[in-house]
Amino acid sequence: MRADKYTFLVLPDNQDPSRSYTFSTKAIRRVIFALITLVLLLILSGFYLIPKALRYNKYATENEMLLNERSQVQSVLDDYKRIKQVNDFIRKSLGPQLDLTDPPDSMITEYPVAGTDANITLPDGMYRATGLLENLPTYPPIRGFINAPFRVKSKFSLTDHLGVDLSSIDDRVVKAAAKGFVVFSNWTYYYGNTVIIDHQNGYLTIYAHNERNLVEQRQLVDRGEPIAILGNTGHSAGAHLHFEIWLDGVPVDPLTLIPEFTVYNRSNFPEAIE
């Protein structure tokens, strides 16, 4: 005869009285059925949710990659706009009456660049007469050390810094890195007092955050000639010179042309201006 009820007896190890629990067969079957159903639901949910979670992770990764690519594209566009703005500004500053066309072949001389297979092309006349180095921005604008190096945006750097920041304690006079033509000498919101010099060979130099500019727009300057006083104007955290070199509309690391900067370091200038 099948039992209709089951009794479970609990016997403690100490002197406490025993306890008994009685369950009907139907109740036990319902509990077992509920447990089996719960396990099956968990298994089915796993088969349904795990692939969905994996797809979500995949979509999230792809979305992040798309956002990064979009950010990189935007960075390239921003850099392109800045290069174009600089180029347009220089063209406008030079004025329509100046001849910006290339000189004839008879007035061009090519000079080899030491250590490379490249040649530098310079026109004759005023720029050639003063020598090859007069129009190459290789003269240190101040004697100082780099406290913020040149860098471009990459996966290792979220922001760019298209020049170097130079600090000094014994050289407050900013000098022209090469012979050239001043195309801008004025105040800007971000860079404060700024001087831009065109060197007529594809090179352009920028000197920013000056306390005071010593040259005027459309003025010819010689290599090493004072053009400004080191300062802290514009968006600047301390007195320094922000110095940029551009070649054919592309920013160049000043260290490639002025290796003297590498020998300057903070230990040589313990009391450097910040």
> Per-residue confidence at 141, pLDDT binned at 50, 70, 90?
very high
Q: How many domains does the chain have?
A: 2
- Portion of the chain with pLDDT greater than 70, in percent: 67
Structure tokens at 114: 């030491």
**Number of C-beta neighbours around residue 18 at 10 A:** 8
Same domain, residue pair 169 and 261:
yes
Last residue of a domain, one of 29, 61, 96: 96
User: Are 132 and 111 in contact, with CB atoms under 8 Å apart?
Assistant: yes
Q: How far is CA 150 from CA 31, 84, 226, in A?
A: 72, 20, 24
66 part of a folded domain: yes
The pTM (predicted TM-score) of the whole model is 0.53
* Dihedral over alpha carbons 101, 104, 107, 109 (to 10 degrees): 90
Separation between Cα atoms, residue 256 and residue 247, nearest integer Å: 12
Separation between Cα atoms, residue 74 and residue 77, nearest integer Å: 5
Last residue of a domain, one of 41, 76, 96: 96
> Per-residue confidence at 130, pLDDT binned at 50, 70, 90?
very low
* Full DSSP string of 178-211: SSEEEEEEEEETTTEEEEEEE-SSSEEEEEEEES
38 part of a folded domain: yes
Same domain, residue pair 43 and 157:
no
One-letter amino acid identity for 2? R
CATH number of the CATH domain containing 183: 2.70.70.10
Same domain, residue pair 73 and 151:
no
21 part of a folded domain: yes
Same domain, residue pair 66 and 160:
no
Structure tokens at 194: 């700024």
Same domain, residue pair 240 and 116:
yes
Same domain, residue pair 110 and 53:
no
Same domain, residue pair 112 and 243:
yes
* Mean pLDDT across 144-152: 79
* Least trusted range by pLDDT, from 43-52, 82-91, 130-139: 82-91
Closest Cα partner for 176 from 237, 135, 129? 135
pLDDT of residue 234: 87
Same domain, residue pair 74 and 190:
no
Same domain, residue pair 91 and 215:
no
Q: How far is CA 223 from CA 35, 75, 117, 177, 181, in A?
A: 89, 34, 26, 6, 11
Separation between Cα atoms, residue 2 and residue 116, nearest integer Å: 101
What rounded mean pLDDT belongs to the chain? 74
Separation between Cα atoms, residue 138 and residue 237, nearest integer Å: 27
pLDDT of residue 226: 96
140 part of a folded domain: yes
Same domain, residue pair 126 and 243:
yes
Domain containing 239: what range? 105-268
Distance of CA 188 to the CA centre of its chain: 21
One-letter amino acid identity for 54? L
